[in-house]
Amino acid sequence: MSAGHNQAAKPPENWQKILEEPKVIGLMRRARQINRDYDIPYLAGYSEDGRTIYFDRHLPNPFIFDDQPVDGYIAFHERVEKALIDGKGWDYTKAHSVAEAAEEDAENQDGLDVEDLQAALEPYIKADEHEKIKLCPPDLDMTPYAGNTKLITAIRAAQAAAKIK
């Protein structure tokens, strides 16, 4: 699911094979910690070193949809995206397209309606609501926000305010 991003890129046809590469698998495994203490644009993100997946602090823990927790799918998306950026040198848009395809494939395999799940998550997705970004992790990877100067400014301001306290 796109979690608020309006990315139109299609994943490469061989995306499943790419996710089976040992280097990519290893990089996906490094994310061991989930942190829910911060405001995260677009619902979720990851640390610069890829070891922490951040969920927006306003997202219920766990987020239940169709009687099952779906946090694992969101974390999987973030792990895939970060592994492809770091391990393959891909740009954000290409990595995001594969992460979205992989996440949706997993959700479909488990019988979830991807569009209904996206609609259920929509109220928690922050993108252009910069005034709601009050707390941001100091090591949040800024790659997904490249080009959105207003959002980056809001994130940096929240990070700076956290250092002052």
DSSP assignment letter at 123:
G
C-alpha 55 chain-centroid distance: 8
The Cα 118–Cα 149 span in angstroms is 26
pLDDT tens digits for 114-149? Answer: 999 999 999 999 765 656 788 999 999 999 999 999
pLDDT, one tens digit per residue, over 23-50 is 999 999 999 999 999 999 999 999 999 9
Cβ within 8 Å of residue 22, ≥6 positions away: none
pLDDT at 126: 77
pLDDT over threshold 70, residue 156: yes
Residue pLDDT, tens place only, 53-79: 999 999 999 999 999 999 999 999 999
Q: Is the pLDDT of residue 22 over 80?
A: yes
- Asked if residues 53 and 27 have their Cβ atoms less than 8 Å apart, the reply is no
pLDDT of residue 50: 98
Q: Please determine, for residue 5, whether its predicted confidence score (pLDDT) is greater than 80.
A: no
